[in-house]
Structure formats: structure tokens, C-alpha cells
Amino acid sequence: MRRVTIVLCTCYSTLLGEIDFERLRSFFSDSPLVEKILVSDRLCEKNVFENLGLDDDRVVVAACSTRLLEAVFKGSGGFNGLVEFVNIREQCAKACGNREEATWKAIRLVKGAVQKALHAEPLSTEGLKIVKEALVIGGGIAGVRCALDIADAGYRVYLVEKEPSIGGVMAQLDKTFPTLDCSICIEGPLLSEAGRNRNITIIPNAEVVEVKGVVGDFKVRIRVNPTYVDPDKCNGCGECVNVCPVYQPNKYDADLKPVKAIYCPFAQAVPLKYVINRDYCVECGLCMKACTRAAINLEDKPKTVELNVGAIVVAVGSDLFDPRLKPEYHYGEYENVITNMEFERIICASGPTGGILLKRDGKPAKRVAFIQCVGSRESGAGIEECSYYCCAASMKEARLILEHDREARVFIFYNELRAFGKGWEDLLYRRCLEDGVVFIRSRPSEIRRTGDGSLLIVYEDTLTGSRGELEVDMVVLALGFKPSSRMIELAERLGVTVDKHGFIEEAHAKMRPLETRVRGIFVAGTCHGPRDIVESAVEGSGAAALVTSLFGRSSLRLPEYARVSLEKCTGCGRCLASCEYGAIVREGDKVRVLESVCNGCGSCLAACPQEAITLGNWGLEQLSPMVSAMLED
Amino acid sequence: MSWKPRVIVFTCWCSSSGVDQAGFEGFTYPPNVLTVRVPCSAVINPSLIVKAFEKGADAVLVTACRPSELRRVAPSRVTEARVSLLRRLLRTIGVEEDRLRILWISSNEGSLFSREVSRILGEVERLGPLNIGGSMVEQG
């Protein structure tokens, strides 16, 4: 027969005056349900409970706040589920008016706990396996920073990148704000460090196609797209490029500067391997003849890589708004209306025009206007959020124009100018004002083309209420972030949720900002909302810290999660609707709980008409006798 | 001793801290308010509440996190729906709705808890002892 040991704690004797411990003890001493009663005066001190030698017993601990005490117990190792806590301090001694009442209440609370302990089932204390290797998805600044930090802590990292090279958006920028230092010059060394690091395996041209498993033990399937050049043989000599007869637009240069069909996206690419774009390749075979290492294989097929990792960091970044969705700005139609990414390439010394701001007809652009919030802070085609980076980016770009050409005139059409970051006010806003940049508070209604081919911006100045027209040579659209449909598909594969805009949703926006709802899957950079370089790098390091702290654990246990008895489950599906976390899925004609997602609230237990779901010792089987015992006279 | 209502309070993890806070800050309430701590209010099966009434509780309180504090995911919304449905069902068998309450208590709202409990106890005292004459479940 099951019996319970009761341990009473007097809290350094402070409860002796408030509860009659003798009466409490004598009430239970004759009970056939009670094995023995022990009294301690300092149960919270180190090893006191352990030294009582109650390892496998059913125990009721009557002491202080469960919140305090349970943490001490859980910290001390195994928690087998057979220990029941009663708070006779805050919820009894301190809450009652006198000793008589408090003793009466303590007896009732302990009576209930005895019943719960008697009906409890032992819980597994077995730890989960932790595979101490990580997967970072996305090789932008957030992903690279993250991979380097995890690798430096001594763990293997797989860095999966969809493009032929890591680097992301930062590799495409000319200068970074607010200090105007060259973007690739500060990112390049990080990229090559990642390429050299023995703990980092870069998997370029690849995407995640399937994720299974739980925190500590994910099984990930990755598809590596064919590049038609064997990366193990290619030494980056570039002989193939010299002979290739076909040109294609280069995505890296915002499609402005052509490259050959066999190409390397940019000089600092990591890995420095050539790839063929088969959409343009004419299969002439000249590159095959030129390649001394026989690296080129036009029969290349997609490959699948299977990984087993303990943690995943999602750092896939975000797309930018498609300006064609705002027809009033005629992007794609008027050739001197360009995006800010195109501007970055044009103003870059290694870009298509060698760093000279030229119009498409080859003449210099002397009057340039920036339009802010294209696709952000609006309820139309874009998103309602502020895109965070673009005020600073446009002010930086205005300064770049003036650094190249003191005679140029620059206009920024803004809504609210937000210069909140470190150095933004001083190095961007004030300097722009000093340099004569004209700020116009307006969201222009239209861009028109005049007879001589220049552009006419039609706007209302919202500070003065007056309408105006401004003639310029070039318009740069500051685009907001817009998550791609690709990313939303990836989120589905990972089992993480996205918000209404399609950005990945955090486990808690403030308290767990780098975690997703799936334990062991972390997030960094613009894939969970608009950010700049600094914040992306900070988050990369932050996510790396979470990964290494997970890997540093000696054992890992999931919080108690709901379990479904397949014998009892009839597949009615009421639990599905009851779960606020979306942790229950259909599987065949039954349901399954996603243990990494379940938060252990127990809503499904109460919803299940078959009592097919259990959650630790929180079922009717335990709580019902507990409540009955507390109420009986 | 005159009759005093016997109350079962189901407290979720977070609001249990609020109840702790009441004692910690010296707000007292009658001893026959008996707390049962559960991980989340959503685990409370309506039949458990019925059981409490059946076994002699004059009132049942559920303390939970405000749904607005839980951001998008809010199991206490589920609890609220269940409790409000159960209140209506209880009325049909002659148990006054006010004997079952849900209270939003945050982990630092000890004074709110003790104030609300005292107020509710006053109301239940006016209703008098619950007399449902045997088992509700078995009769059904």
C-alpha cells in the first residue's frame, strides 16, 4: 500500500508561534496513509532535504512558498514527481488571523497534498540527448556573427546559405551608417574568418527542406542546389570566366553590372568558388576546356545533406518591399527612379559606374531626391511598421552624394525623421543639415516625367500645408522590409510562427526576444522584424550565447508536456481547438503533441472527453482526491 | 462558531505568487479559503469544479493571468470561456452563478487578491450554505 512521508519545516522556528506543529504532527501520526513525519527547521538549506534519505518515497513537504522551495528542489537534481509541496507560510501562517485558524488550515492543506502524493505517478527524470552541433540558417551579418561565436566556444556549426556566397545584404552596401566606413571592408574579414574556421562548415547554394525532432536532437534535411562546378576542385582561378561568351545580370550588383554565366558574385565571396547560372549558360563547353582542374560538370544534380544538430538559429533576413506595388512612383518604368539597394551599388567604387552617380543615359545626376517609407508605415501594399534602418540609410546616402560631388543638391522626403541610434543625430542628421540637405516633410503623391526626361515630384509639404513640385534628375526609393513568402514556408517547416506581416514571432517579445515558440530554435536579424546591422550582429551574438548555454548543460529536460494515450484517443480533435500554442497536430486518426512546442498549460486535459491526455500529475486522478480531502470534515 | 463559507481557490502558477504576496505583505483572509496550485488555469477540468461543490465547497474561485498579459497566446481565455459556460450550467441546477468566480490576479497583486476574496466571501455568506443534496454528477 502506498504511504506518504510528511516533512514539516518550521522556517528557522519562525512558524512555531503561528502554527501548532505538535497538533499538526499528532493529527497525521495515526493516519494509515502516513509513513512517518519529519520536522526540519531549515529545509531550504543546501543538502538538508537530500540528507533525509527520501529519494524514492512519496513525500509531502509543508514549508514556505512553493515558488521558492520547488526551485531549490529542482536545482538539486532529479525531480521525480512524487514530492508534493504545501505552502504553510505565505498561504497559511501569514494569511490567517491567529494560530488556531492557521493550524486548522495547515491540516487541510496537508490533507489535500497527502492525497495528491498518494495518487501521483513517478515522472521520468531521464535527460534528453544534446547533440552539441548547431545549424545557422542564413549567412548574412547576423548568421555569420552567430556562427563565429558558437564556433569560438568550441562547437561545430553548419552555416547554410541560399546564395553562392555568405555575406548577405551587408556585402552589397557601399558604406555603413553613421560612420561611413566601407561595408565590405568591415564584413569581409568576418566572412573569411568564417570560411577559415575549422568549426564552421559553410553550405552555400542550399536550403532547409525538412526539420524533425526536438531541442537537443533535430534531424535536418538540406537540399544543395547544383552549381555545375565542383567546389572541392575549383580553386577560384577565374580562367573559366575569361572564356565564357555569355553575360547575365548580377544579382549582387542589383542587376546593374553584367557578369559572365559562370561567375563568382563578388571579389570577397566566401567560399571563393565559381558557379554557373544554367538559365544563361549555352553549354558551349569553353569553360570545361579552360579549367585545368576539371571542376566543371554540367550534369551536376541537386544533393541532399542530412544533419543532426542540437540547436538551430534562423537568421535568413528579410526581403525589401517591391516598389512596383506603388505605381505612382513608376519604378521600372522611369529609369532614373531607383531603389536604395541600386543606389548602394551605383555609389560604390567597385560598382557598375565605378562610384560615379550617373543616370541611365550616362550623364551625372546633380539633383537627387530620396523618398522615405516606401512600403513601410502604411496600410496599403507594404507594412504598418517603421522599417527602422531607412532614415539613417538615406541620410548616409545623402552624405555620400555630397562627398562625391559638393555641387549636388539632395532632398529627403520624410514623414518623421528618426535618428535614434548611437551617432545618428550627430553624424547623420546634423551633418546633413550642415551640408545643405533639404528635408521636406511629405509622402509624395506622384512622380512625373518632364519633356526633357527629368523627374517631377508632386507633393504636399505637411508642415506648411502647401503643395509643391520639385524637379530632380534621380529619385531613390527607401524601401521598407517585407518578409518573403520563402521565409514563411521555412517558418512552417521549422514549426515556428510568424506575425501578421510574416516576420518570425518570438517566444516573448520582451523576455525571450531571441527564442521562437519551438525550444531549441532561435532567431536573429531581420527575419523577425526590421533591424540595422548593429542590432543584427548583437542578436547573432545573443543567439550564439543561448546556443552555447544550451550545449554547456550537463543534462536537458523538457518542461512537463502533455502526453496522449493512443489507446484512449478517439481523434475527436477537441484538444486541437483548446491549445493556444498550436502544439497539438493530427496524426492519422489520432492526435500528437509537439513536445518542443507544448508549454504544459494542460488546457487539452480539460478539453479531452476521453481523459486520454496526461500532464505530469495534474490530472483529475490526482486533483480530484486532493480537493475532496481538503473539504472533508 | 457560526457558519462560514468554505472556498476552494484554484490558483495558476503565476497567480499563486500573487496569493503568496498577500500573506507576505500581511493581508489576511479567512482560513477556510483553501488554495490548490495548478500549472495553468487551463488545466482545471470543469468536472473538478463540480466535484468541489459536491464535496462541500460553498464557492469556487479560479485565479488566473489576465489574458492581455499573455500576449497573443492566452490559455486563460480558454479558462474564462469554460468558467462562464459552467456558471450558466450550474444555475440550471440551482447553484447560484456567483458561487463560481474567475479572478485575474498577477503575481504581485496580493492586496487585490485578499480584497476580492473578502468581498466575494461576504456575498457568498449572504447566499448561505450551498445545499445541493447529494451528488450532482451521479444524478445526471
Answer whether B34 sits within 8 Å of A108, measured CB to CB: yes
Lowest mean pLDDT: which of A39-53, A413-427, A441-455, A558-572? Answer: A39-53
* Domains A319-482 and A563-615 alike in fold: no
Question: Nearest CA to CA, how far is A98 from chain B (Å)?
Answer: 9
The verdict on a CB contact (< 8 Å) between B48 and A627 is yes
Q: Which residue has the higher pLDDT, A279 or A497?
A: A279
Q: What's the rounded Cα separation, in Å, for the pair B27 and A520?
A: 42
CATH number of A563-615: 3.30.70.20
Interface of B with A in 26-45 (CB under 8 A): 26-32, 34-40, 42-45
Place of cell 478517439: A570
- A74, containing H or E segment: helix A66-75
Give the number of A-B residue pairs with CB atoms closer than 8 Å: 133
Closest CA to A604 of A588, A593, A595: A593
CB nearest to A66's CB, from B37, B43, B71 = B37
ipTM of predicted complex: 0.94
Q: Do B20 and A67 touch (CB under 8 A)?
A: yes
**Centroid of chain to Cα A201:** 21
Mutation pick from A79, A91, A516 vs chain B, by most beta carbons of B within 10 Å, is: A91
Q: Under an 8 A CB cutoff, do B34 and A112 touch?
A: yes
pLDDT higher than threshold 80 for residue A143: yes
What the block records as the C-alpha cell of A285 is 563547353
Give A127's pLDDT tier (boundaries 50, 70, 90).
confident
Instruction: Quick: pLDDT tens for B102-119.
Output: 999 988 899 999 999 999
Q: How confident is the model at residue A582 (pLDDT cuts 50, 70, 90)?
A: confident
Q: Report chain A residues whose CB lies below 8 A from the CB of B51.
A: 624, 627-628
Nearest to A136 by CA among A118, A155, A121, A117: A155
Q: CA angle at residue A293 from A289 to A295, to 5 degrees?
A: 80
Residues A205 and A300: their CA atoms lie apart, in Å, by 13
Going by C-alpha positions, the residue among A124, A131, A84, A120 that lies closest to residue A557 is A124
Joined together, the cell numbers standing for residue A624 give 480530484
Give the pLDDT of residue A47.
84
For residue A10, the model assigns a pLDDT of: 95
- pLDDT for B139: 43
Smallest Cα distance from B1 to chain A, Å: 12
Say if strands A200-203 and A181-182 run parallel, antiparallel, or are unpaired: unpaired
**What topology does CATH give the domain B7-108+117-124?**
Rossmann fold (3.40.50)
Backbone φ, ψ for residue B114 (5° rounding) = -65, -35
Confidence tier at B69 by pLDDT (50, 70, 90): low
Q: Which CATH number fits domain A133-313+523-551: 2.40.50.140, 3.40.50.2000, 3.50.50.60, 3.40.1790.10?
A: 3.50.50.60
Q: Which residues of chain A have a CB within 8 Å of the CB of B74? A: 580
Within 8 A of B52 by CB-CB distance, chain A residues are 627, 631
Chain-chain contact of A623 with B36 (C-beta, under 8 angstroms): yes
Residue A581 has pLDDT above 90, yes or no: no
Mean pLDDT of chain A: 94
Radius of gyration of chain A (CA): 32
Question: Is B59 at the interface with chain A, CB within 8 A?
Answer: no
User: What is d(CA A196, CA A175) in angstroms, rounded to the nearest whole number?
Assistant: 25
Identify the CA nearest to A482 among candidates A322, A371, A372. A322
Name the pLDDT band for A233 (thresholds 50, 70, 90): very high
- Top CATH class, A4-123: alpha beta
Structure confidence by residue, pLDDT tens digits, A589-602: 999 999 888 989 99
| Strands of the sheet with A474-479, listed across from one edge | A337-339, A474-479, A367-374, A409-414, A438-441
Which residue among A95, A581, A633 places its CB closest to the CB of B22? A95
Residue B132 contacts A, CB cutoff 8 Å:
no
> CA A573, CA B18: separation in Å to the nearest integer?
34
Name the CATH code of domain A319-482 (choices 3.90.550.10, 3.50.50.60, 3.10.20.600, 3.40.50.720). Answer: 3.50.50.60
Q: How far is B79 from chain A (nearest CA, A)?
A: 8
**Local structure of residue A70 (DSSP, 8 states):** H
